Structure 1
Amino acid sequence: MRIVVVGDVMLDVDLSGEATRLSPDAPVPVVDISGVRRRAGGAGLVARMLAQDGWPVTLVTVLGDDDAGSQLRTHLAGVQLVAGTSGYPSPVKTRVRAGSHPVVRFDQGCERTPIPDVSPAMLRAVEEAGVVIVADYGRGLAANPQLRGLLGRLAGSVPIVWDPHPSGPEPVPGVAVVTPNISEATKAVQAAGNVPTSVEGVAQVLLERWRSQAVLVTKGEEGAVLLQQGDASSRAVPAPRVEAGDPCGAGDRLAAGLAVHLLAGRDLPEAAALAVHDAADFLAAGGVSALPDTQGQDADPDHQRGAPGRGRRTTEPLLLARSVRENGGKVVATGGCFDLIHAGHIRSLAAARELGDCLIVCLNSDDSVRRLKGPQRPIIGQHDRAELLLAMECVDAVMVFDEDTPEAALDRLRPDLWVKGGDYKGARLPEADLVERWGGRCLTVPFHPARSTTGLADALAKVS
């Protein structure tokens, strides 16, 4: 169940401030620095994102024996680190920003170095992976013959997401998906001399050359194009429109999302669609500038072990359910529209959570609510409803479904217990036959009269 990130790490330094004048020495802006942030970049950023979301993640990399390498270890708190010694200075990339606009970047120690060695511990960590992300940043680790041989052997049984770099090696054959951006993809086919004019054509050339199971070419705000082996044509993967000043880290967020969704058992088209939205949400929330500062923090032991239940706050329900079951826990699910959350909801959810080791809420989508309750509903959109539910300590994950009933979602989730409010008491739940098919049970928890969404909506209408 562990996600293993393999790749090159660098120290990213952000100097931010305001530029209100030009230098008297040259026509260049003077930036008055008001903030300095340091963080792990490259493969380290991918691992940090996953750890921040609560996934058990191991980072396999090499680090320099210098001050930057020491800082990187500090900024990788919360990540299980299996690191060899590079024998060279750790790369440092310093970005200067005026407001939200990049002004200049300084690179130190970023020149090409010989292919680093890998230790037995690094190889063992990769062998234990439930899914692998190769975050290649052109520093040579992805070119190590021993590591490539191991990844090639794992490709048939473990999903591998390969995020390539123009200065790095080609992916090993058989990986689940390679994720170049449009610039990287175009450069990769230029050596052949005949560059296709369409993104679909570029993806086809790379799919044949790399012999991967799929290629996902990302196009920034235009989304991505997915081409799989055996498909007659590619699939467009649209991206939601977001206002984002700095796209740094979007590719890393997409690779992390792909790994999580593939590990949860989703097929690649669905995983790609969700990962594109993950990347858009990441940028909309502020991108790398919004990531919490990890300096001085201790690793969260629950994150290290991948403990189920209260130690993990995640919105990925399928992977959470699988993790809880594999740790011997009991998965509890409930469902509903939760249009206006009231005290009755909170009491029922808390009671349901006490019945097992995690609680997953199956939430009707906006379209589903409209079909069930009329065109004026929902009052609150599905994203806000999911966020409100996840803010409760008793809710561990939310699974949004579009159908009129939760049966399709339940069939994928397969909880040990399906729980509904006590207004069903004395009647067999509609989902009982389905849940009992895999050995689950249906239960009711106490119902709290005079507390309902309809009653609350009517009361609000009278004062609006």
Structure 2
Amino acid sequence: MTGRRPVVVVGDLLLDQDISGEANRLAPDAPVPVVEVAAERCRPGGAGLAAALAARDGREVILVTALGSDEASETVRAMLPPGVRLAELPLAGSLPVKSRVLAGDRPLMRMDRGGGTPGAPGPEVLEALAAAGSILVADYGQGTATAVREPLAGAARRLPVVWDPHPRGDRPVPGARLVTPNEREARWFVREHCAGAATAVAEDDDSLRAHSLRGTLLAERWAALSVAVTLGARGAVLARAECDDPLYIPVTAGSDGDPCGAGDCFAATATTVLADGGLPTEAVDLATEAASAFVATGRADRRAWCGEPKRPVRVAAVPPAKPRRLADITALADSVRAGGGTVVAAGGCFDLLHAGHVRFLENARRTGDLLIVCVNSDASVRRLKGAGRPLNPAADRIRVLEGLGCVDAVAEFTEDTPQALLRLLRPDIWVKGGDYSVRDLPEAAQLREWNGQALVLPYLDGHSTTAIAHRAARAAS
């Protein structure tokens, strides 16, 4: 899974500080709660959080942001996760620091300090934008998006740009693939940016129709391809300019957790889906579920995503995003083995995924603690199956496989057999499905090099890609 162009996150980096404890009494000199401080934690916020979330699946992420020589800037430089690379603009002033005081994990107050002015982009920033596969603008109103607006406008004409706007920030550039205001921001933007059209919907109207209309008005005014108005626990509405057919995406499972950062999670997820060729509808659907899961996730697990040191966790407790880079897949396999787990690998073309495939993969997962699917590249399938195959390209086959709960990771190989890939993964168990025997598998001897085992699991009778394709062809004739 190599060769993908990086996701570039452009925006304002903040230092988030949480001061947490318990509040069980009021101060004697004023009717305010007294917080007995139990812990203080810092993490990269704003565009830093968005970049960390975009890097969860192992993809390369470049963060374009303004940093100075102040203490807060030095702190966030040291705290960014390894998957995030910086391309800096100069900052005249100091990095903003946002401090929250929490009691029982509920915020009581917020204190903001610091701030500065971003300078002009240098060659490193311009090169990062030119090399991007997709761009997320995480605008927090501090001026970074404005400083690089001209190259962003050019980028929007050739690749997906997702813009997470802020009332104090800049307008999205024309041609943005997706703009992601929350419902409160959408009301403000309609009032301020859509003069003469705001009367089409009452500001206090909380209906889905009203939110959809606001999205349509903003898409028209900003010349954006689509606008997703996020509605918190209610999900999101996706609207387009001059289109009266908006899409409502509900949340399948509600959550009453801390919503701080959910908007960054939504925008980061949507950006990665668009980077991989997804449509805005697919991006908003997956982003809505990801943001809901983010809110539901415990604070300790969330900190591990955002640059703070991770505490030892079981493999099943890591965030649900699945690794894409081969280096990250092999590292995951190594970590499972180090913890005493069993690594299972399964192989095949998986063209037109059917019930037989699903049963085979579910059974393969039951034989161990981690399942890595090795899937043939398009050229490999063509050599094995002949002209006209595969019916689905590798990117689509991989995405479908990643959607199965029993699959922990998918790795693509270009040869006729996955022997080179298996030598890197070194699975404890290698499974194939169908009418094979273990002695006929070319990989069996290789597995014995590291005391691995080859198994054959049956497919569901009467199911095959070829049979399905023939039935479809007869039906179409």
User: What TM-score do the two structures reach when normalised by structure 2?
Assistant: 0.68
Report what 1:369 is aligned to: none
Q: Deviations over 1:11-35 (max 9, x none)?
A: 0000111111111111111111111
Which blocks of at least 5 consecutive residues in structure 2 are unaligned?
A: 203-209, 311-322, 333-346, 351-356, 381-393, 419-430, 438-453, 461-477
Q: Using the alignment, how far apart are the partners of 1:124 and 1:244 within structure 2?
A: 42
Q: What displacement does 1:291 show?
A: 2.2
Report what 1:421 is aligned to: 432
Are the counterparts in 1 of residues 360 and 433 from structure 2 also a CA contact under 8 Å?
no
Q: What displacement does 1:203 show?
A: 1.2
Q: What displacement does 1:143 show?
A: 1.2
Q: 1:447 aligns with which of 444, 456, 466?
A: 456
Are the counterparts in 2 of residues 5 and 132 from structure 1 also a CA contact under 8 Å?
yes
RMSD between aligned residues: 3.6
Q: What displacement does 1:286 show?
A: 2.6
* Matches for 1:87-166 after TM superposition, within 5 Å: 87-110=92-115, 113-114=116-117, 116-144=119-147, 147-166=148-167
* Residues 313 and 255 of structure 1, relative CA distance in 2, 3 Å threshold: farther
Report what 1:225 is aligned to: 237
Report what 1:400 is aligned to: none
SS in 2 for 1:282: helix
Q: Deviations over 1:30-81 (max 9, x none)?
A: 1111111100000000111122331210000111211100001011131111
Q: Using the alignment, how far apart are the partners of 1:284 and 1:175 within structure 2?
A: 30
Q: What displacement does 1:423 show?
A: 3.6
Matched, 1:21 2:25: yes
* Residues 140 and 30 of structure 1, relative CA distance in 2, 3 Å threshold: same
Q: Using the alignment, how far apart are the partners of 1:133 and 1:361 within structure 2?
A: 22
Report what 2:224 is aligned to: 212
Q: Using the alignment, how far apart are the partners of 2:414 and 2:241 within structure 1?
A: 34
* Matches for 1:275-424 after TM superposition, within 5 Å: 275-286=287-298, 290-292=302-304, 294=307, 308-312=325-329, 335-337=357-359, 341=363, 345-346=367-368, 353=374, 386=405, 389-390=407-408, 395-396=409-410, 421-424=432-435
Moved more, 260-269 or 9-18: 260-269
Q: What displacement does 1:187 show?
A: 0.4
* Residues 353 and 414 of structure 1, relative CA distance in 2, 3 Å threshold: closer
Q: Using the alignment, how far apart are the partners of 2:375 and 2:228 within structure 1?
A: 42
Q: What displacement does 1:264 show?
A: 1.3
Q: How many residue pairs are counted as aligned between the two chains? A: 366
* Residues 360 and 152 of structure 1, relative CA distance in 2, 3 Å threshold: closer
Q: What displacement does 1:424 show?
A: 2.5
Q: What displacement does 1:414 show?
A: 11
Are the counterparts in 1 of residues 349 and 376 from structure 2 also a CA contact under 8 Å?
no
Q: 1:42 aligns with which of 46, 52, 69?
A: 46
Q: What displacement does 1:232 show?
A: 3.4
Report what 1:433 is aligned to: none
Are the counterparts in 1 of residues 44 and 76 from structure 2 also a CA contact under 8 Å?
yes
Which blocks of at least 5 consecutive residues in structure 1 are unaligned?
A: 298-305, 316-330, 366-381, 398-412, 427-444, 453-464
* Residues 345 and 155 of structure 1, relative CA distance in 2, 3 Å threshold: same
Q: What displacement does 1:418 show?
A: 9.7
Q: Deviations over 1:396-418 (max 9, x none)?
A: 47xxxxxxxxxxxxxxx998779
Q: What displacement does 1:262 show?
A: 0.7
Are the counterparts in 1 of residues 101 and 108 from structure 2 also a CA contact under 8 Å?
yes
* Residues 362 and 4 of structure 1, relative CA distance in 2, 3 Å threshold: closer
* Matches for 1:189-268 after TM superposition, within 5 Å: 189-191=190-192, 192=195, 194-195=198-199, 196-197=201-202, 198-229=210-241, 231-268=243-280
Q: Give % identity.
A: 36
Q: What displacement does 1:307 show?
A: 8.0
* Residues 15 and 226 of structure 1, relative CA distance in 2, 3 Å threshold: same
Moved more, 203-212 or 287-296: 287-296
SS in 2 for 1:91: strand
Report what 1:429 is aligned to: none
* Residues 199 and 354 of structure 1, relative CA distance in 2, 3 Å threshold: closer
Q: Using the alignment, how far apart are the partners of 2:258 and 2:218 within structure 1?
A: 28
Q: Using the alignment, how far apart are the partners of 2:184 and 2:50 within structure 1?
A: 20
Are the counterparts in 2 of residues 332 and 417 from structure 1 also a CA contact under 8 Å?
no
* Residues 176 and 29 of structure 1, relative CA distance in 2, 3 Å threshold: same
Moved more, 240-249 or 269-278: 240-249
Moved more, 192-201 or 155-164: 192-201
Q: Using the alignment, how far apart are the partners of 1:417 and 1:249 within structure 2?
A: 45
Q: Using the alignment, how far apart are the partners of 1:289 and 1:207 within structure 2?
A: 36
Q: Using the alignment, how far apart are the partners of 2:102 and 2:370 within structure 1?
A: 49
SS in 2 for 1:261: helix
Q: What displacement does 1:294 show?
A: 3.1
